[in-house]
Amino acid sequence: MDQLGSDVLMDADYDEKQLTPTDDDNDNVAIITPDDGDSMIDDTDADVTTEPALPLATDHDAIRDRFMPPYDEYETEAEAVFTWDITNWRSLPKRTNGPVFHCAGHPWRILFFPFGNAASEAVSFYLEQGYGDEKPPEDWYACAQFMLVLHNPNDPQMYIHHEASHRFTAEEGDWGFTRFAEKNRIFAAKYDGFDRPLVEGDMARVTAYVRVLKDPTGVLWHNFVNYDSKKETGMVGLRNQGATCYLNSLLQSLYLTGAFRKAVYQIPTSTEEERASSNSAYALQRLFYRLQADPLAVSTQELTHSFGWESRQIFEQQDVQELSRILMEKLEARMKGTAAENALPNMFVGKMKTYLRCINVDYESSRIEDFWDLQLNVSGCKSLDDSFKNYVEVETLEGENKYMAEGYGLQDARKGVIFESFPQVLHLQLKRFEYDFQRDAMMKVNDRYEFPEIWDASPYLDDTADKSEPYIYHLHGVLVHSGDLNAGHYYSFLKPEKNGEFYRFDDDRVTRAAKREAIDDNFGGDYATNGLNGLQKGQNPYTRQWSTKRSNNAYMLVYVRESRLDQILPPENEMQAPRHLPTKLAEERTAAEKRKKDRDEAHLYMNVQVATEASFKAFQGVDLIPWGADNEETEPAAPKTYRLLRSWTVSDFSDFLTKQYGLERDLIRPWIMVNRQNGTVRPDHPLLWDNMTLQEAADKFSTRTGGFRVFVEETTRNAEGAPVWPSEEVSVPSSPVVNGTAQQQHIPIIIFLKYFDVDKQVLSGVGHIYMNPSEKAQDLAPHILQLMGWEAGVSLELYEEIKQTYIERMKPKNTLVASEIQDGDIVCFQRHLGEAEIAAIRHSKPTACLDAPAFYDYLINRIFVSFTPKFAPPQQNFEVRKEGDEKFTVALSKKDNYDTLAHKAAEQLSLVTTASIDPSHLRFTTANAQTGKPRTLVKRQAGTTVSTILFGTSGNYGGGGYSYNSSATAQAPDHLFYEVLEMTLTDLEQRKAIRIIWLSDGINKETAYEMAMPKQSLFSDVLAALQKRAGLPDEVVQHVRFYEAHGNKVYKVLPLTHSVVALNEYMTVYAERIPAEEEAEVEAGRQGTMHDAEGEVGSDIEVEEEDARSRRSKSRLVHCFHFEKEPSKPHGVPFLFLLKEGEVFTDTRERLSKRTGIKGKNLEKVRFAVVKGGQGFAGRPVWVGDDDVLASMLGPDDHLGLEHPNRQRGNWARYESLNIR
């Protein structure tokens, strides 16, 4: 029983009540009781078709065959029938058990509640395991199909039956029917048309039919409560981060491909640099080892973090094929130069030949390409062999589609693809998602598609292929998608061993699977017919929609070559992780266990921050030490935080400090630190009560906001070896007391001293002294001179550090009590500077602070800004001595103006460059906070400060300034890009700034170069400047052209004689190397100059004129642009493309693929269209088909459009979102 108090279990048919007809009605009405287990009276007229008569309750075989037929998909282990005669019904206890009987070696009994179980109006019957008070064996279970039949012993026609199936376990040892039958019905004088009750004379008979089924997978009817994947299968799953089930399926497939796991383990990751969190190979090693060693499901969070993925990518279902390809590419790069080099290509790469063969002449054009996986059509194909036949199908080019064969003219030809070889591990991507042009959306294909367990690939090999080794493949992986495009789930069926069984990997759960589940159930297609109303329907569990087609079907298949099974699936002991990996993970587990223990015991401990004399002396800043420092390990002035027992006494604490800092117990005493109203943290009084606990001290003396903070005071010994404390250091004055009581002014106070070194621009603590409050400020001088080792007579300037923004000059004649000096106050001193010294410092260090208040102001406004070159070599106009030194950090004040900023940056840069940097040649650009890329040029003008540059406001630090940060989150507050100009900023104003986008790899790679050209320059000068900035060799420069674009469409080609001043600000200028095929067919000169058929040369030729002349030859240039859905939404880099007369578009598309770099699956997503109307783009686009000849479709003003999602917006086949760093 699921729960003894549950309302109804497995009794769905019982509520279908039937009205018993009257005697008058029986002559005219056929009385038929539905098949709900009740007895049936058959008074049907002879001319009415009737169902077979119900069997008697005593006919056990007939009852079992009629109401409990066996499951076709499950094999029966054993069956049993047991009858229990119930007597004295009303005298039985509330809960009664029948005698024990056995089936399949398991004890069983009937559990009976004669007066109902939590349902007083009904009686309850259950089937129960019969171990009774004895516990069942460990992990005991039995999968049983059972039926309970209650009938009248005197009339076997009168009975009620209910059936159920259940996995009986020690935890769920009974199952059945809370509302088996209503009491008023079975005790009624007449039971459903009979003249006697069902329970007659307080007696009835109940028969149990039990059929125990074999459970080959171990999970039949499992509720998966407390299910242990490791224990049941020896393997663990992967936890789903949100929508990463597709990633989990792929990773499990790769992990169980033993040769792949072995190759990943061979990637070197022993050094700290190689174990960086951004190293996806190291993260994959860790994941694979944890899948081997961990007892529970493993998280993929480390791996996705190493990919550089954000939450957006984790909660989106991505393209598995593209993820697989990118991951393989990254791993292959990591394997270069290692023992695993070429392991992945040897495992996953096959070769295919694309050919075009003339029929009537001896001419063939072909190329052989590698493939890592194959994408196969599902639509229109019934099986895997149908898809391969479709893949290698030969197309005949004839009639208007004849092929232009070099040297033979137009010829009939056959075009197709054939395979040269298949890889050891064959990944087949089934195109379950296709674009529906009618719906204008991607749709899932749920058609039936069959694939075999063993498959022969040889029929699809070229005749010349090496077939010495059979190309027989065994199915070892079926990756499944359940649902539709918008909502679904991924899981996989994988066979880890050569002759093993399939397992189902469903995120964090791993279970055994029958071959039928792994293969047949994932063909897709229609549900089986139900024999009544035609096709059955199934409900998509993710969209809740009903359909006649199965929503769960295979989308990826993994086949392993039969002859290489032993190599691809080696024994587990041959796949050992690197030695450092288990050690590292064990250390991390130990640390995690310690953190957990610390959390569990947190109530017993408290955090205590400890500052020492060394901390004070190492600190340069406001206050005693930096109590809020982020990293106490790397910052010497930071306080140390200790986790100490709250029950420790002050004496215990002092002993701890003695051992921790190597001090003598009687030479230290801890001081309580308190938060003052002015925002400072200062010592208040020493802890002199040895028996007081830390918790009591914190409650009594410490402030709540700052936690428990302590300063450890240190002292020395006198000549007798006794510790020297304040009463022995400070003399009591003989003169009368002026202010305050004598007792108050005789108590010495502790004062901390800081020294501001003007030459070094350093403020640091030097120690502490004790003074009588009645002493004057000038009395501090002898103590300071002694501490510093200076000669007598050195002039000093004294300042009191009152708070962060208030540094007050002290009056020498005032007493300390008059100056309001108390315990823990800080006095800063510096040497007095003469006019000559000040002049010398100003000459050598123009930005230096000359007094302590100025330096304090600098510290308050100090910000550490990192500087990065805006351009990489060779665009930099400087050279560093050591690679990496071009990136540096400078401490600035938010009040610094542009010239001070430039001077400090130039000063730091000059230290690492081969030549001194002139500050007037530095120009800065702000950085984007999200991308880290350059954002806005900084203008040098009045009011510009570091604050206005980085924060967009001058705040309280000066007036005005240009705002560079309109959005608080858009700009990095501590990062600037810099560039060293060839001229001063003043000279730059006399030039025209232009931006050239250099296309170094077709249209795939864009590099922007900003140049300041003299206003009288021509584009020949721009070319020379571009050569220098981009480092272009002379042979490339000879073939460079410029063209102007607007709105992502080509406007015109710019000749070298074009004036820089004539450029429009809103135009984009591209520079590219003229493609080789274009130079071969069109005699091209320099930028914007093209020879016509007669050899005449033009200059300053716009695109329209150029095209008009080129159309007189067999080839011409066409302008191409990208758009999304409609031509009015252009995007991307527009380009020029050579159009060939008579060329069919299938060949044109191949050349477009090379020109644009869009290949494979991405190319399949691109639709090509002729866009009419020149710059106006009026009318609808005319889509180009494979057999069309593009040259005959394009008019003089037409453009070729490439329709696909905007990749720059992150939607281009989701390529950006699937990037792995």
Concatenated DSSP letters for 248-305?
HHHHHHHHHSHHHHHHHHTS---STTTT-TT-HHHHHHHHHHHHHH-SS-B--HHHHH
Mean pLDDT of 268-282: 82
- pLDDT value at residue 703: 74
Torsion of CA 136, 141, 146, 150, to 10 degrees: 20
Name the nearest CA neighbour of 303 among 316, 295, 294, 313: 313
Domains of the chain as residue ranges with CATH: 1-226 (2.60.210.10), 229-345 (3.90.70.10), 350-569 (3.90.70.10), 601-714 (3.10.20.90), 726-733+745-846 (3.10.20.90), 861-966 (3.10.20), 1114-1221 (3.10.20.90)
Beta carbons of 109 and 228 less than 8 angstroms apart? no
Q: How many CB atoms lie within 10 A of CB 1126?
A: 14
Which residue bears the tokens 């997503």? 1165
| Helices H / strands E in the chain, number of each | 32, 52
Mean pLDDT, residues 587-605 taken together: 90
User: Could you give the residue numbers annotated as active site?
Assistant: 245, 489
Q: Across-strand partners of 433?
A: 444
Beta pairing class for 425-431 and 374-377: parallel
Residues 6+ apart with CB under 8 A from 919: 899, 902, 903, 905, 906
- Percent residues over pLDDT 70 in the chain: 84
Coil/strand/helix, residue 1079: helix
End-to-end CA distance of the chain: give it in Å, rounded. 54
- Mean pLDDT of all residues belonging to the chain: 84
Which residues are within 8 A (CB) of 967 and not within 5 positions of it... i.e. 6 or more apart?
A: none
Tokens for 780, please give them. Answer: 């501090």
> pLDDT tier at 1095 (50, 70, 90 boundaries)?
very low
- Are 122 and 179 in contact by the 8 Å Cβ rule? The answer is yes
Is residue 374 pLDDT above 50, yes or no?
yes
Please give the pLDDT value at position 669. Answer: 92
Percent with pLDDT over 90 in the chain: 52
User: What per-residue confidence (pLDDT) applies to 312?
Assistant: 64
For residue 874, cis peptide bond before it (omega within 30 degrees of 0): yes
Residues in the chain: 1221
Residue 275 is predicted with a pLDDT of 76
β-partners of residue 352 are 369, 419
Query: What confidence category does residue 561 fall into, taking pLDDT thresholds of 50, 70 and 90?
Result: very high
Helix (H) or strand (E) holding 936: strand 934-937
pLDDT, one tens digit per residue, over 1134-1155 is 999 999 888 899 999 999 988 8
Question: At 687, phi and psi to the nearest 5?
Answer: -85, 105
The answer, yes or no, to whether residue 428 has pLDDT greater than 70, is: yes
- Is the per-residue pLDDT at 528 higher than 80? no
pLDDT value for 922:
92
Read off the pLDDT band of 1195 (50, 70, 90).
Answer: confident
pLDDT greater at residue 480 or residue 19 = 480
Do residues 120 and 93 touch, judged by C-beta distance below 8 A?
A: no
Q: Do residues 86 and 201 lie in contact, with contact meaning Cβ atoms separated by under 8 Å?
A: no
**Window from 538-552, 611-625, 1103-1117 with minimum mean pLDDT:** 1103-1117
**What is the model's pLDDT at position 574?**
87
Check: CB of residue 183 under 8 Å from CB of residue 32: no
Angle at 378 between CA 372 and CA 384, to 5 degrees: 65
Render pLDDT for 328-343 as a digit per residue (tens, 0 to 9): 988 998 999 899 999 9
How many CB atoms are closer than 10 A to CB 1193? 16
**Residue that has been written with the tokens 């094999």 in this structure:** 75
